[in-house]
Amino acid sequence: MKGFQFSYRFVEFVIEQYGIDTLNEVIRNPHDFNRIFQCSELELHQRMVDYLKR
């Protein structure tokens, strides 16, 4: 998967699972990842994998 395709899927995942406000927050504060998603990167990765398998 190319970078832009991954980016699209990540944005889709965040909007559907967390909402547009969360996407806006992560764009504005990318280093505050754990607070925004309230999980580790590994946990969020697994959630996205599960989302993509649907």
Would you give per-residue pLDDT tens digits along the chain (54 residues)?
677 777 999 999 999 999 999 999 999 999 998 999 999 999 999 999 999 999
pLDDT at 33: 87
**CB half-sphere exposure, 29, CA atoms < 13 A:** 9
Provide the number of structural domains found in the chain: 1
Residue 22, token pair as written in the block: 């969360």
Domain that holds residue 44: 3-53
Statement: the pTM of the whole predicted model exceeds 0.75: yes
CA-based nearest residue to 33, from 8, 3, 1, 10:
10
